[in-house]
Amino acid sequence: MLVQRIISALVGIPLIVVAAWFGGIPFVLLIGLIIVLGLMEMNELLTKLGLKPSLWLALAGGLIMTAGSFLYKDGYPGPTITIILFMYLIATVALYPRFSLLDSAGTVMGTLYVGLLNYFYLLRMMPDGWIWLIFTLTATWATDTAAYFVGKLFGRRRIAPALSPKKTLEGAVGGLAGSILVAAIFTVIYPFLPVSKVLLLGLCLGVAALVGDLLESAFKRQAGVKDSSDLIPGHGGILDRIDSMLFTAPLVYYFVILFIKS
């Protein structure tokens, strides 16, 4: 399992870094592809929960959000949310009773949840975006990796047994230490960054990564599955890999805008 994880990471991480380096269309296309795959997995999870979500509506909504992120230059493309909401409500009326209000609500939730990945593109496009994008990726990976190994070696007290029995308090503390360590390293590499604010961001990112991981565990627990899919050898599905990032990317984006760039 560990060997498969390492091989998958060696293949996937360089692809993400190269696309992020170029930014623009290559990066937005990669994000769009990941969102499509993530929405397909989310559709399966919602189906297992007894809902009848619309995959085509979800895909349309996710790609509208991605297109809005690419075209809208003044922050998060809020108008796209209104477009998606009206599109789903109209579909609820047109397709009722085959597509109920609960089905529509589940589709909206899944679309907006997976669509949070677009914040990576928004991060890349902001001033010093390359720095903040790499910070988000490395700090999130460090949080997950440190939490995994510390929890495996020293984990005793379970932090959320109803959601994820393997998550421990010791692992969570190790994850926070990993994110803060990455933040400290970035303040050394980039001396112009405000040390106290970046360290605080590292701490907040570690908490956000943990919450994001637990939220996806809640989806899987209710759906009765171990992984969102078996797409990535050793890792499970797309959602299993991006669950933490769906929380950390928006956090970093708004933290930088509100407390560092202002």
- pLDDT tens digits, one per residue of 92-146: 999 988 899 999 999 999 999 999 999 999 999 888 999 999 999 999 999 999 9
**What pLDDT score does 4 carry?**
46
Distances (CA, A) of 58 to 5, 39, 78, 137, 139: 29, 7, 17, 26, 30
**What pLDDT score does 232 carry?**
66
Tally of domains in the chain: 1
Based on its alpha-carbon atoms, the radius of gyration of the chain, rounded to whole angstroms, reads 19
pLDDT at 3 over 60: no
* Residue 218, domain extent: 2-260
> What SS3 state is found at 163?
coil
Phi, psi of 190 (to 5 degrees): -120, 85
Which distant-in-sequence residues (6+ apart) come within 8 Å of 86 by Cβ?
A: none
| Closest listed residue to residue 223, CA positions, set 19, 50, 1 | 50
**What pLDDT score does 12 carry?**
58
The percentage of the chain sitting over the pLDDT mark of 90, rounded to a whole number, equals 55
CA–CA gap between residue 128 and residue 57 (Å, rounded):
35
CA–CA gap between residue 31 and residue 134 (Å, rounded):
15
**What pLDDT score does 219 carry?**
86
**What pLDDT score does 227 carry?**
73
The string of DSSP codes covering 4-20 is HHHHHHHHHHHHHHHHH
Which distant-in-sequence residues (6+ apart) come within 8 Å of 59 by Cβ?
A: 36, 39, 40
- pLDDT tens digits, one per residue of 53-98: 999 999 999 999 999 988 887 767 778 888 999 999 999 999 988 8
